[in-house]
Structures are given as structure tokens and as C-alpha cells.
Amino acid sequence: MINIALFGPPGAGKGTQSAALAKSFNLYYISTGELLRKELAAESKLGLEAKGIIAAGGLVPDEIIVQIIEKTITEHPEANGFLFDGFPRTYVQCYILEGLMSKLNSSLSCLICLEVEEEESVARLLKRAATSGRSDDNEAVIRNRMSEYREKTLPVLQFYREKGIYAAVNGGNSVEQVRKDVEAIVKAEIRRRPVHIVLFGYPGSGRGSQGKALAKHFDLEFVATGPMLDSEIARQTPLGKKVQALYENGLLVSDEIVVPLIENKLEESKDVRGFVYKGFPRTLVQSYILDGLIRKRGASITQVIDIGLPTLELIMRLDARSKTNSCMPYDSTTAKIVQRLQDHENKTVPVVEKYAQIHGVTKVDGSGSFEGVFERLKAIVEKTIWAS
């Protein structure tokens, strides 16, 4: 989840920039000012309480602000993240935001300040007054909003400077330039947080070769339990010998063997862009294990993809592979192939169904050429990485 707060004096262009930003990164936009104006228009109890304060250019009490934000956040658990405009507006509201975010098991990723000279802001607001129809867009009230900003809102910057999540752009530039600058900051922020992509598909669906290619293309770490176990076998480590025996009988490898291997891989790959998991989780128990492993790193699963292919096509592909050099010990006979397909159906399909309920699963058609499927997967992963 990425949560951004757009900051700046009234008239800095927060509203204009928010529209573009929310769209580019699929963030849920929360403008406290806009929410308050809706309450005002609906003449709700909250709206009536806030009416006079807004018209005078003052700040609405925190009790009201918390209510409207809390409601909006909890109503949108599916959001990729939130974009705040006009909040936090006081030093105290910074703590309120921290509290609200911790309720979502998240935190503010970055506060971006649109720096604009006061007189430029006033001039922009006076121009906007001609068309906005806002009760607070007139010179006397604008001056009051500016003085509230200077006294009560500017200290917010210090809070986020100290937290190290503060960035500024020159809001005096053209709308297009400001948009580019703000997007660059958000992209840099996204790059800092590794993605965790889980790739599913029946044996023979191409998940292995596609996963490897995706990892290479996006500079992600490929976490595939199969190749990790193969390397143990190739090196004939004690663990490798055990695994070999299980493979030859077409059996699944126990969690006690697999988990330390994954744990090591995650530990070794601290500064990577993200991970593609293939062949794990294979069971519901393993899905809890993976959630735990990722959570230990302060993250959660970013995306789940399921490559689909008709059963006959799967069998033909696995059968063809069993006759080539890339034949795996576990697909050397028809009985073993059938066993693996059954295992997937009985144990792994329920995992995909569980993820479908929690995160949503992106289904990808696995038929056609390798390149064709790769293009489809690439487009999906690209979107996830930029959360666009």
C-alpha cells in the first residue's frame, strides 16, 4: 500500500495534481475540504457544524475531520493506497493520521509539498473565485486561510522532515511540470518497496519459464522452490538426497525442508525490487507460511496471478516435456504426471480460491506462444509495479 499526502498552501494546485496522481497510481483520493463541502451541501449535522468555520476560513475541529476520514478509509479496504489532500493540516492531525494508518496496518509513505509563494497562491485563488462558487473563495477569507496555513499548517512539515518522508516540488511551475515532478517522487517511493507476486498455474501451464522470464525482465528475485530443491539434489546434499527420494515417488516435500530455503533466499535478497514466487504456496498451510514470511519483512502480497490452460493441453505439454532433456524426475511417467495434476487440484486450487477472496486473483490465459503469454503477464506485472 502506498499512501501519499499532498501538501501546500491553499491554491497550490493540490486538487489539480491529485486528480492526475490518483489516476496514475490507482490511489483512493481523500480531500477533507471536498468531503466537508459534500456534508455542507447535504446539510448534514456534520456539515452544519462546519459551515460557519469554513465560510470564515478557519479550521474545522478534529472530531469532525476524524469522522469523515475514518468513514472513507474503512469503506475502501480494496484501495491500493490513499492520496490525502488537505490533511494533515495541523501538527496534531499528523498524529491522527499515524493512528488511522496503523489501524490499516499501513503508514504514510510520503508527504509532498507543492511550494508556492503566498502572493501567487492568493492570485490563483482570486482567479478561481470567479468560477468555484465556494463560500471561502473571497479575498478576506483567503487572507484568513493563508494566516491559518502559516500558523497551524506549516508545522506539519517539521513532523515529516523529522520522519524522513518529506519531499518538495516547485509548485510555481506549469501544471504539467509539477505533475512530472510529483510522479517522479511517487515512482521513486514505489521502487523502494519490494513487490511480492505469487504465480499460480497447473503443472505444465508455463508458470516456471514465465516466472523466470518475468523476474529477469523486471529485475525481481525468482523464488521457485523446485529449482532450489533441484540445486540441493544436484549438490547431493543430505537434504537433496531426501528430496530426490520424495520426487521419485511423486510426493510433496515437507514444509520443514522448504521454508528454511525460502527464508534464506529472502534474507539474501535484501535490496531487490521484489519477488516472484512460483511453486509456493502449494497448500493452504503454506499460504499462511508465505503470509508470515512476507509479513516479517513488513510487507504483504502485492499480486496473485493464475495462468490458466485446458487440462488436455497441460497433459500434452507435460508428456512432450517428459520426452525431452528437460524431463523432471517428477514427470517421467504418466502416473506421476496425473498425481501432480491431482495434487494441484486438491491442494493448490483451494489456495488460489483463498487468495481470490482476500487479494483478488488475476487470471491469465496461458494458451498460445510463450511470447504471447509473456506479453500478457508483462502488462499485468508492469501495472502492479507502478500501481497504475
Q: Considering only residues 87, 166, 202, 222, which one is a binding residue for ligand AMP as defined by CB under 6 A?
A: 87
Instruction: Show contacts with ligand AMP in window 268-287 (CB under 6 A).
Output: none
Establish if 4 lies at the interface with ligand AMP (CB under 6 A).
no
From residue 227 to residue 246, the character string flagging contacts with ligand AMP as x (rule: CB under 6 A) and all else as - is --------------------
Distance from the Cα of residue 179 to its chain's centroid: 21
Establish if 53 lies at the interface with ligand AMP (CB under 6 A).
yes
Establish if 65 lies at the interface with ligand AMP (CB under 6 A).
yes
- Segment lying near ligand AMP (by CB under 6 A), choices 56-64, 102-110, 119-127, 263-271: 56-64
Establish if 57 lies at the interface with ligand AMP (CB under 6 A).
yes
CB of 237 to ligand AMP, least distance (A): 59
Establish if 32 lies at the interface with ligand AMP (CB under 6 A).
yes
The identity of residue 382, as a single letter, is E
Q: Considering only residues 1, 4, 22, 54, which one is a binding residue for ligand AMP as defined by CB under 6 A?
A: 54
Distance CA 7, CA 116 (A): 11
Distance CA 32, CA 51 (A): 14
Q: Considering only residues 6, 27, 59, 337, which one is a binding residue for ligand AMP as defined by CB under 6 A?
A: 59
CB-based contacts of 251-257 (< 8 A; 24+ apart in sequence): 252/282, 252/283, 252/343, 252/347, 253/225, 253/229, 255/285, 255/286, 255/289, 257/229
State the number of CA atoms in the 13 A half-sphere of 142 facing the CB: 19
- Segment lying near ligand AMP (by CB under 6 A), choices 86-94, 105-113, 200-208, 234-242: 86-94
- Segment lying near ligand AMP (by CB under 6 A), choices 30-38, 107-115, 196-204, 244-252: 30-38
Let me know: does 17 contact 179? Beta carbons within 8 Å: yes
Q: Considering only residues 9, 33, 208, 250, which one is a binding residue for ligand AMP as defined by CB under 6 A?
A: 33
Query: Which residue's CB is nearer to ligand AMP, number 16 or number 231?
Result: 16
Cis peptide before 281 (omega within 30 of 0): yes
Establish if 86 lies at the interface with ligand AMP (CB under 6 A).
yes
Query: Which residue's CB is nearer to ligand AMP, number 36 or number 293?
Result: 36
At 22, list the grid cell.
Answer: 490518483
Query: Which residue's CB is nearer to ligand AMP, number 85 or number 232?
Result: 85
Instruction: Show contacts with ligand AMP in window 112-141 (CB under 6 A).
Output: 136
The 10 Å CB-count burial string (b at 16+, else e) for 259-287 is: bebbeebbeeeeeebbbbbbbbbbbeebb
CB of 39 to ligand AMP, least distance (A): 10
From residue 134 to residue 173, the character string flagging contacts with ligand AMP as x (rule: CB under 6 A) and all else as - is --x--------x----------------------------
- Segment lying near ligand AMP (by CB under 6 A), choices 81-89, 165-173, 291-299, 319-327: 81-89
- Segment lying near ligand AMP (by CB under 6 A), choices 31-39, 247-255, 319-327, 329-337: 31-39
List all residues 6 or more positions away from 26 whose beta carbon is below 8 Å from its beta carbon.
80, 81, 387, 388
- Residues contributing to the site for ligand AMP (CB under 6 A): 10, 32-33, 36, 53-54, 57-60, 65, 86-87, 89, 93, 136, 145
